[in-house]
Amino acid sequence: MTTNNNNDNATANSNVPDNVKGCIQLDPYLRPFADVLSERRYLADEWNYKLTNGNSTSLTDFARNAYKEFGFHVNANNKDITFKEWAPNASRAFLIGDFNNWNESSHELKKDEYGNFEILLPPVKNAESGELQYAIPHDSKVKLLFILPDGSKIYRIPAWITRCTQPDEETVKQYGPGYEGRFWNPNMEIYKPTSANVAPTVGTSGLKIYEAHIGISTPEPKIGTYNEFTANVLPRIHDLGYNVVQLMAIMEHAYYGSFGYQVTNFFAVSSRYGTPDDLKKLIDAAHKLGISVFLDVVHSHASKNSGDGLNFFDGSDHQYFHSLQSSGGRGEHPLWDSRLFNYGKYEVQRFLLANLAFFIDVYKFDGFRFDGVTSMLYSHHGCGFGFSGDYNEYLSRDRSFVDHEALAYLMLANDLIHEMLPDSNTIAEDVSGYPTLCLPRSIGGGGFNYRLAMAIPDMWIKLLKECKDEDWEMGKIVYNLTNRRHGEKVVAYAESHDQALVGDKTLAFWLMDAAMYTDMTVLTSLTPVVDRGISLHKLIRLITHSLGGEAYLNFEGNEFGHPEWLDFPTQLNGQSYHYARRQFNLVDDRLLRYKDLYQFDKYLQHCESHYTWLNTPQAYVSLKHEVDKVIAYERNGLIFIFNFHPTQSFVDYRIGVEVPGAYKIILNSDRSEFGGHNRIDEAKSRFFTVDLPWNGRKNYIQVYIPSRVAIVLALENRV
């Protein structure tokens, strides 16, 4: 009896729930887990339906209405101020501040049946002019006083506050080091963008992301500002050819040493770096340069601070978070010492979704990198768990393993962002490889556009720590660079901020270490250590860029081989800013070799913009030669050839090529302006294919490839 495979497939697909058929068609191995995927998508769709009142409104309207309803809002016509806060556990609430001399009884808020407190502050007359003015002066200090059911008092910064500042010395002496809420209402001082202030289109090129932290973006040992970043760093990013800047530590955080990941005030941008208008100017300036701006958003956890954060905000431990007593450990992160949101709660969904809409509408952010997604997805938060890739690790019916509510929230967040910004991109910081996370919501996926390829930097650090480069296995390098889920895009990177923090070192530091302090000058002969370091630094970046994913990320300063590590001021280092900075002065010194690495990175980004290989189908690798240490592959019609051998150069080395024709060099890591030895005469380098199969390709060429050098070739008619 003959089996009809088409009928079998049709029967199998007929049993797949409609809401995940697209995912199953893309990956048939998901078929046994179709019902689980369907249930997880259904939960997010059900929430979306409820939040939009049965789709009678949009998710955008829901999120916008929330941030326009809660917190402080002014009526410019009649000078009224309205304020609203959700604090169900509190019995009474009072608004206090400079405006009423911190009177704890003059401005009581009214509480409704849902636990919302509201107050309307009518205008007051100016004592001199008699004109009506706002009851609360711009930038004056404000706080909430809650009376709890037991009669005790607690003081809180409003949860929806848009401006917080560090206290001055006098305030610290009197009240402690907590942050201060500010009534931000600059009236005519509000920054008016001079450009359209819309996200630039990336075009045919892929995302080339420059990850940056405003505070460390200055050579001086201090905290940098938004204005300094706009003036000094944005032009460098534009010059290098990156089309996205990803800003870290923007959401207000009381502890600078947390690198911005212990958020206290979700709607306030960090006052350390300047005013909200300063950030708006920065984003507007980036847009004028054709650079999109992504926010590194932290919705995975929140600071345990109570005086200036959300923890115990209304006196209860379960207002925004899972209860510490009755949630089985879901209320706090075991390693981060932070609180974990209860994503299944309507008010939490409202708060976090409104937060995203706020940053899109008010500051014009173009995309988002979601921090700590692995922690959100799993009840174990990824702590002490090694993912093997077995689908049962991700798609078990055991609800104590995967947090369905957190996953559903992430789906909702993607729904909102892509509804508000149809051409935007979202990136998940997920080390687990959760299947379907980066597939469209419409076919049953999580809705992210990309996930970070977090195994790649780990591979490079491991190789540099444990192996001499003559012992590197070409096959393992290629495997780690290409091991990603079909149809789900990744952001490749050789190193990010994680690899630069204390306890680790930048790749340049692993390669050259102490030699970076003495031997990077051009006034002395090139040493073997620095020669090796510069050569491998370029090769690692190029192969990661071209083979590792559909987008690329670099952490600021690492493009030119930034020495040393990152260490924020703490008591342990005497509150020093020495390592909490980026020494851009090194690349500006023409007598130092850092400029060569900078020029290589610049050429690399612009080369990709012109010829494009990111965001194209994955490369075909035709050669991984373990003895010769040569790797060759083709991507988007370009030929990439790497010789990792420390000493052996090859003449007339045969490389398989699919498309016949004449090829020329478009990128050569051995150029002198890139710190190389100029061993290749590019003017005379023209490679013609031979019509004979080689390494699984229809043709071959023969090239000269020096040791520790990479070249990229393109058909002559494309050059």
Closest CA to 537 of 621, 613, 593: 593
pLDDT single digits (tens) 95-106 = 999 999 999 999
HSE-up of residue 187 (Cα within 13 Å, Cβ side):
9
Q: Which residues pair with 689 in a beta bridge?
A: none
Q: In sequence order, which residues have a C-beta less than 8 Å from that of residue 161 and are 6 or more positions away? A: 71, 72, 142, 181, 182, 265, 267, 268
Give the pLDDT mean for 105-118.
97
Distance CA 307, CA 418 (A): 35
Please tell us whether the domain made up of 620-718 is placed in CATH 3.30.565.10. Answer: no
pLDDT on residue 325: 87
Contact 260, 253 (CB under 8 A): yes
- By mean pLDDT, which of 103-112, 116-125, 501-510 is the weakest? 501-510
The answer on pLDDT for 195 being more than 70 is no
Quickly list DSSP for 239-273.
HHT-SEEEEES-EE-S-GGGTT-S-SEEEEEPGGG
Take residue 532 and report the two structure tokens written for it. Answer: 């090796």
DSSP designation for 3: -
Sequence letter at residue 38:
S
193: burial class by Cβ within 10 Å (0-12, 13-18, 19+)? middle
Q: Which residues pair with 143 in a beta bridge?
A: 96
Q: Residue ranges of the alpha helices (H) in 243-366?
A: 276-288, 346-363
pLDDT single digits (tens) 434-446 = 999 999 999 999 9
Q: How far is CA 487 from CA 390, 415, 458, in A?
A: 18, 19, 23
3-state secondary structure 457-514: HHHHHHHHHHCCHHHCCHHHHHHHHHCCCCCCEEEECCCCHHHHECCCCCHHHHHHCC
Binned at pLDDT 50, 70 and 90, residue 190 comes out as: low
Distance CA 115, CA 124 (A): 29
Contact 368, 448 (CB under 8 A): no
Q: In sequence order, which residues have a C-beta less than 8 Å from that of residue 85 and are 6 or more positions away? A: 70, 71, 93, 109, 116, 117, 144, 158, 159, 160
pLDDT single digits (tens) 585-598 = 999 999 999 999 99
pLDDT on residue 196: 57
Q: Which residues pair with 265 in a beta bridge?
A: 252
Binned at pLDDT 50, 70 and 90, residue 316 comes out as: very high
The answer on pLDDT for 4 being more than 60 is no
Task: Considering only residues 424 and 195, tell me which one the structure prediction assigns the higher pLDDT.
Answer: 424
pLDDT on residue 5: 43
Binned at pLDDT 50, 70 and 90, residue 14 comes out as: low
Distance CA 432, CA 377 (A): 9
pLDDT on residue 328: 79
**Can you give the residue ranges of every domain in the chain?**
68-189, 620-718
68-189 with 620-718: one CATH topology? yes
Task: Considering only residues 334 and 51, tell me which one the structure prediction assigns the higher pLDDT.
Answer: 51
Closest CA to 369 of 313, 451, 463: 451
pLDDT on residue 7: 42
Sequence letter at residue 157:
I
The answer on pLDDT for 329 being more than 50 is yes
Instruction: Indicate which residues carry an active-site annotation.
Output: 371, 429
Distance CA 588, CA 670 (A): 21
Binned at pLDDT 50, 70 and 90, residue 475 comes out as: very high
Sequence letter at residue 534:
I
Distance CA 535, CA 709 (A): 7
Binned at pLDDT 50, 70 and 90, residue 9 comes out as: very low
Binned at pLDDT 50, 70 and 90, residue 402 comes out as: very high
The domain 68-189 is placed in CATH, from the list 1.20.120.1200, 1.20.1740.10, 2.60.40.10, 2.60.40.2470, at: 2.60.40.10
- Local structure of 686: helix, strand or coil: strand
Q: How far is CA 294 from CA 208, 422, 509, 699, in A?
A: 12, 15, 28, 43
pLDDT on residue 130: 86
Residue 164: phi, psi to the nearest 5? Answer: -135, 150
Give the pLDDT mean for 617-630.
97
Ramachandran class of 176: left when φ > 0, alpha when ψ lies in -120 to 50, beta otherwise: left
Distance CA 357, CA 365 (A): 10
Contact 364, 287 (CB under 8 A): yes
Binned at pLDDT 50, 70 and 90, residue 400 comes out as: confident
Closest CA to 118 of 153, 144, 137: 144
Distance CA 58, CA 70 (A): 19
pLDDT single digits (tens) 638-678 = 999 999 999 999 999 999 999 999 999 999 999 999 999 99
The answer on pLDDT for 8 being more than 90 is no
The answer on pLDDT for 197 being more than 60 is no
Closest CA to 298 of 331, 339, 350: 339
First to last CA, the chain: 58
Q: Which residues pair with 321 in a beta bridge?
A: 341
pLDDT on residue 128: 86
The greatest distance separating any two alpha carbons of the chain, rounded to the nearest whole angstrom, comes to 100
How many other β-carbons are positioned within 10 Å of the β-carbon of residue 6? 8
The answer on pLDDT for 11 being more than 60 is no
Q: Which residues pair with 120 in a beta bridge?
A: 82
Contact 109, 82 (CB under 8 A): no
pLDDT on residue 229: 98
The answer on pLDDT for 10 being more than 50 is no
The answer on pLDDT for 713 being more than 90 is yes
- Provide the pairing of β-strand 367-370 with 425-428: parallel
pLDDT on residue 491: 98
Contact 623, 655 (CB under 8 A): yes
The answer on pLDDT for 401 being more than 80 is yes
Give the pLDDT mean for 366-393.
91
The answer on pLDDT for 13 being more than 70 is no
Take residue 340 and report the two structure tokens written for it. Answer: 């974990």
pLDDT single digits (tens) 541-597 = 999 999 999 999 999 999 999 998 889 998 889 999 999 999 999 999 999 999 999
The answer on pLDDT for 177 being more than 80 is no
Distance CA 310, CA 308 (A): 7
Closest CA to 500 of 605, 588, 604, 581: 581
pLDDT on residue 3: 40
How many other β-carbons are positioned within 10 Å of the β-carbon of residue 388? 8
pLDDT single digits (tens) 126-142 = 888 889 999 999 999 99
pLDDT on residue 200: 67
- Local structure of 298: helix, strand or coil: coil
Q: What average pLDDT does the structure give for the chain? A: 93
The answer on pLDDT for 602 being more than 50 is yes
Q: In sequence order, which residues have a C-beta less than 8 Å from that of residue 311 and are 6 or more positions away? A: 302, 303, 304, 305, 317, 321, 339
pLDDT single digits (tens) 200-231 = 666 567 999 999 999 999 999 999 999 999 99
| Most confident range, picked from 173-187, 199-213, 293-307, 377-391 | 293-307
How many other β-carbons are positioned within 10 Å of the β-carbon of residue 710? 24
How far, rounded to the nearest angstrom, does the alpha carbon of residue 9 sit from its chain's CA centroid? Answer: 40
pLDDT on residue 133: 94
